[in-house]
Amino acid sequence: MDISDEMLNAFIDGELSSLEMSIVRDAIATNERVALRVEALAAINSQVHARLHQIDSISLSPNLENLRQQLEASARDEQTDNVVSFPWWHSSRLGGVWQSAAAASVAAVFVFVIGLGINSGSSVNALPEWAVINQALSTQPSGQIMTTDSGAAFEARLSFQNQAGEYCRQFYLKPVESTALQSIACRTGDDWVLRAAMPTGDQSNFQTASHDRALDQVIDSMIKGDVISPEQEKTVIQQDWKP
Amino acid sequence: MHAELLELLPGLRRYAYSLCGSAEDADDLCQDAIERILAKGVPDDVLLAKWAFRVCRNCWIDQYRAARTRQEATNNPLLQEQNISDGTRQTENEIQLEQVNSAMQNLSEEQRSILSLVTVQSMSYKDAAEVLEVPVGTVMSRIARARANLIKYLNAQQTLAQGH
């Protein structure tokens, strides 16, 4: 069976149904022309990818950098406005019903974690670029958006201490080519360990409480006292998160 | 919206780069697109992640198509020869990327756009179709033609290089 160029391209781009995918795979295995063509198309794909990513290593022009900084400042303001609407850091004043709901949500969020293939216990490499995230969690104040070398957007959203006295941080991560995640990591020894993660929509930056209720409730179940203020956080960062 | 635009910036910049072919023009285009989005807002029924790419493309069509002659000049064979002689210290990878760059500039805008959206932004054919306001079938045929043209162009360059 001969296969069209359009179908081979759709195969490379993952746009075929599973039946069509297996038809193409069979053709690759049995038809040398198809195999060579797929090879050539995949190679050109990777070259185009590499070529367009070249610009990532070039500094932004002064005007664009200026615009980026303005966006960053406005984004911080947006975040501050929305953080006020998060109700959960007053959890110590909430009753038992809320705490029961929170316990149920812990399970829900960890289902997300399992669904993502993340081991919620030992999860050192659970998220992409974990070494970079680990470093950013140690050094980035909450509310500052950082772009990693690969183009992923990272932002620590807030810090708190859990019942065990460990420092924990909620953070947002949007890798370039995969789903955005809202996550919680806690400082154990000199490293951060992922405790929860859940996918969040690309359109849902700076979530309101309703969007991230499940994660908020996880924090409710973990937090001891109030969330750490920006001033306190600055000091804790300087002290390298030593409890 | 500001935070999301900030998040979209690297991808938007790559898309602009695919359209313009130079980092300097790409940054200007990216800036124009973001400023236009900030000034005019986003329609309620559209996702910003798709809208931003559409605005970027429209800006390019509005402002940069006129500069095409300048881009074509960079593809002038005489200039290319100069580039090759200047590139003796380039690594093989850099030369290969330059060839891809040159090949991409020979594609139509439609084909460059679709390659960038699908290959680099990892958009589905459906999402790319929405950005470009064309049917999914058109996306399929454009991407097939774009890659086929790139392969043809690069093979021709290789043949020429072997002939020298």
> Tens digit of pLDDT for each residue in A93-116?
333 333 334 444 444 444 344 334
Task: Classify burial at A239, counting beta carbons within 10 Å of its beta carbon; exposed 0-12, middle 13-18, buried 19 or more.
Answer: exposed
- Separation of alpha carbons B18 and A110, rounded Å: 40
Joined together, the tokens standing for residue A63 give 């005007």
pLDDT digits (tens, 9 = 90+) for B76-104: 444 343 343 444 444 555 666 778 888 88
Angstrom CA distances, A45 to A24, A29, A42, A117, stand at 18, 21, 5, 28
Per-residue model confidence as pLDDT tens for chain A (243 residues): 578 999 999 988 888 888 888 888 888 878 888 888 888 888 888 788 877 887 888 889 999 999 998 888 887 776 554 433 333 333 333 333 333 344 444 444 443 443 343 333 444 445 777 888 989 999 998 887 788 888 888 888 889 998 888 999 988 888 877 777 788 888 988 888 888 777 765 433 433 333 455 677 678 778 888 888 888 898 999 999 987
- Separation of alpha carbons B66 and B59, rounded Å: 12
- Separation of alpha carbons B143 and A12, rounded Å: 11
B26 with A13: Cβ contact below 8 A:
no
Using a CB-CB cut-off of 8 Å, the residues of chain A touching B100 are 44, 47-48, 50-51
Whole-number pLDDT of residue A78: 65
User: How many residue pairs from chains A and B have C-beta atoms closer than 8 A?
Assistant: 127
Whole-number pLDDT of residue B80: 42
| CA B75 distance to own-chain centroid | 15
Note whether ipTM > 0.85 here.
no
Q: Which of 36-95 (B) contact A at CB < 8 A?
A: 47-49
Chain A CB within 8 Å of residue B100 CB: yes
Separation in Å, CA of B151 to nearest CA in chain A? 7
Whole-number pLDDT of residue A22: 83
Nearest residue on chain B to A178, alpha-carbon basis: B122
Whole-number pLDDT of residue B65: 58
Angstrom CA distances, A211 to A182, A207, B81, stand at 11, 6, 57
Mutate to test the interface with B, among A52, A67, A211 (most CBs of B within 10 A): A52
Whole-number pLDDT of residue B134: 92
Whether residue B115 contacts residue A66, with contact meaning beta carbons closer than 8 Å, is answered with no
Angstrom CA distances, A227 to A90, A103, A109, A206, A223, stand at 9, 19, 20, 17, 8
Whole-number pLDDT of residue A213: 58
| Ranges in chain B, pLDDT < 70 | 64-96, 162-164
Residue B74 sits at the vertex; the CA angle it makes with B141 and A9, to the nearest 5 degrees, is 20
Whole-number pLDDT of residue A122: 40
A51 with B14: Cβ contact below 8 A:
no
Whole-number pLDDT of residue B139: 94
Chain A CB within 8 Å of residue B122 CB: yes
**SS3 of A142, please?**
coil
